[in-house]
Amino acid sequence: MIQELIAEYKKKKKDLKNRLKDFKKIWNEPESVIFSELCFCICTPQAKAVECDKAVKRLIKSGNLFKGNIEQIRSEIAGVRFPNNKSKYLYEARKQFSVNGRIVIKERIDIKNIVESRNWLANNVKGIGFKEASHFLRNIGFGSDLAILDVHILKNMIRYGIIRTRPKTLNQVKYLELENKLRTFSQEVKIPMDELDLLFWSAETGEIFK
C-alpha cells in the first residue's frame, strides 16, 4: 500500500509542487487577499472547501466581505454549513483585523515563527482552531511542516496505519500528537508534509484544491 502511495506521489508530484508555488505567491498580494484566505478557512469546518471558496468569492464580489453586516454576510454563505455562526465569525474577524477602515493582517503573522503564529490564530480568532489556522498558513505560503487534520487526512492516516481510529475529539494536545505522527510518516516515505496533505486530499476528492 505504501508503494502505491509513493507511485501516486510520483505521478502527481509536479502538480502538487505547482499548487504549493501558487500558495507562496499569495503573501505578496494585498492585505485584503490574505484576509479573504482567512475567511475561507473560517468557513471550512464541516463544510465542503469548494462551496466555501464560492461563498467567499461571492462576498468579495458584492463587497460584503469588507463592508457587509452580519445578515448580509449570512445570506451569501447560505450554502456553507452553520452560516449563522460563521457569518458572526467573519464579521468579528473583519473588526479584529481592521485599522482605520483598512484590513491589516500581515503584521499579525510572524513568518519567522509559524508555530507561534498558528498558536496565536487558534487562540485569538473566533471560529478557528489548529486545523483552520494550519490551513490558512499553508494557503498563504507558510506552514509547510504543519498538518491540516481534516476528515480526509485522518481517513488516510488510518488507511496507512499512522493511527488506528479517528479521534472523538481533537484538542490542541491531541492535534500536536497526531501531527507528530504524520510528520514521522512523511519523513519515512520521503514525501514533504505539505505535499502529503494535498496528495491525501486529492485521493479523496479527485482534485488538488486548497
Q: Are 32 and 66 in contact (CB under 8 A)?
A: yes
Provide the pLDDT confidence category of residue 164 given band limits of 50, 70 and 90. very high
pLDDT (average), residues 76-95: 97
What pLDDT does 209 receive? 72
**Sole residue written with cell 445570506:** 75
pLDDT (average), residues 49-66: 97
- Tell me which residues are annotated as active site: 131, 150
Provide the pLDDT confidence category of residue 125 given band limits of 50, 70 and 90. very high
What pLDDT does 1 receive? 86
CA–CA distance, 59 with 131 (Å, rounded to integer):
23
Contacting residues for 114 by C-beta, under 8 A, at least 6 apart: 137, 142, 143, 145, 146
What pLDDT does 172 receive? 95
pLDDT (average), residues 25-29: 97
Evaluate if residue 176 carries a pLDDT over 80.
Answer: yes
Does domain 2-24+146-205 match CATH 1.10.3720.10? Answer: no
Provide the pLDDT confidence category of residue 115 given band limits of 50, 70 and 90. very high
pLDDT (average), residues 9-34: 97
pLDDT (average), residues 110-115: 96
Q: In the chain, what percentage of residues exceed pLDDT 90? A: 93
Evaluate if residue 207 carries a pLDDT over 80.
Answer: no
- In three-state secondary structure terms, 33 is helix
pLDDT (average), residues 159-182: 96
Q: What count of residues does the chain have? A: 210
Q: Is the pTM of this model over 0.85?
A: yes
What pLDDT does 204 receive? 85
